Structure 1
């Protein structure tokens, strides 16, 4: 968001939730407040928000982040579906999310609601 490059690989020895979305649906993703709480409570967990907005939608993306008070790191190349990570991960729709362990291994994909909360409590809860 600040114009600095961000690595997608999880090299911070933390649990990472990569969340792919568009600015137009950020507010509709109900589990964001739960993720935000876990991010703030647990130093071994962080979130990387990846916007798949189109060119010309940068301000809408930034406004959505600020409106919803999303405090984690956000990135976007504004390339829509031409984003390299979208192709690498095989993302076909949004929102999409990946839970990545501290070694960089994807351990879950597209968990929602209670499934996501349960998995996060399972893997992070003991820390």
Structure 2
């Protein structure tokens, strides 16, 4: 049983890498620049360039991809573009409510089958 659990756990690693890769390149191939949604029409070109450089969007996609994989491996999720604070903190803020919702769901699912 332990061998089975370890094997399943090890098989999830390539699955996670595959899903992360797929999502990264789908976002990369979408039209426009991801930073464009944070700009207003009156944003100056200097500010645009500063923001693009701040988030590393001026680097090639493959460089950003491997940098992202390295950061994910050490649980460094970067900075939330929307909230301007560490993304890990944003996740931790939502975690208690997520766990409560999951527990309630399990309590409903188990008795009903």
TM-score (norm 1): 0.21
- Greater Rg over alpha carbons, structure: 2
- Structure 2-normalised TM-score? 0.23
RCO (CA 8 Å, sep 6+): is it higher in 1 or 2? 1
Higher normalized helix content (fraction of residues):
2
